[in-house]
Structure 1
Amino acid sequence: MSPVIVIAAISGLIILLLATGVPIKPLRFVGQVAIKVMIGALFLFFLNAFGSKYGIHVPINLATSSISGILGIPGVVGLTVIQMWVL
C-alpha cells in the first residue's frame, strides 16, 4: 500500500469524524484501555530491569502488557510465576 493511499484514508476518516461528531463514551473507554496497556508495559520494563540479576525476564508484548495493565501488580506477579514455572 502506498503512503499516499494511507494518508488519504486517514485524512478521510478524520474529516468524517469531524463532520459526524465523535461519540465520547467509546473513545474514552479506548483511551483508558490504551493507558492501562502502557502502564502495564512500564511495570514489565521495571520488572525486567530489576529482575535481571535474579534471572527474571518477562517479554513485553501486547498480551503481557494488557494482562499486567488490567490486573496491576497481581498480574505482573502472575506473569512472573508463569514465566518461571513454564521455562
Structure 2
Amino acid sequence: MDSYIVIGIILAVIVLILLKGLPVNALRFVSQGVVKILIGALLLFFLNVFGASIGLHIPINLFTTVITGFLGISGLASLSAIHIFLLP
C-alpha cells in the first residue's frame, strides 16, 4: 500500500514539473554544487597520487570531497593537517 503512495507522489511531482516547469535557479545551484564536488574528488585523487610517497592518504568519500570542493585548497590543506597531526 505504501508503494502506491510513493508512486502517486512521484507522478504528481512529474505532472507539476511538466505543467509549471523547472526553476532555473535551483538547477543552476545544484549543477554548481555537483561541479564543486567533482573538483574536490579530483583534488583528493591527485593528493593521494602524489602524497603516496610521503605516506599521506585521505580517503575519497562524500564528506572529504564536499570539504575539498567547497573550501578548495584550504580544505585540502586542512584535511592533510588533520591526517598528519591528529591521526596516528
Q: TM-score, normalised by structure 2?
A: 0.79
CA distance in 1, matches of 2:26, 2:67: 21
- Unaligned residue ranges in structure 1 (runs of 5+): 1-8
Q: Residues 10 and 45 from structure 1, CA distance in 2 versus in 1: closer, same or farther, beyond 3 angstroms?
A: farther
Matched, 1:85 2:50: no
For structure 2, the 5+ residue unaligned runs are 1-8
- Alpha-carbon separation, structure 2, partners of 1:60 and 1:29: 23
Distance 2:66 2:42 in 1: 11
Q: Deviations over 1:31-83 (max 9, x none)?
A: 10111011000000000000001000001111110110111111101100001
Cα RMSD (Å) of the superposition? 2.0
Distance 2:13 2:52 in 1: 44
Give 1:26's aligned amino acid. Answer: A
Q: TM-score, normalised by structure 1?
A: 0.80
The whole-number CA distance in structure 2 between the counterparts of 1:10 and 1:31 is 22
Instruction: Describe how 1:1-87 pairs up with structure 2 within 5 A.
Output: 13-14=13-14, 16-87=16-87
Letter matched to residue 36 of structure 2: K
Percent of residue pairs bearing the same amino acid type? 49
Corresponding pairs, count: 82
Equivalent position amino acid for 1:54 in 2:
I
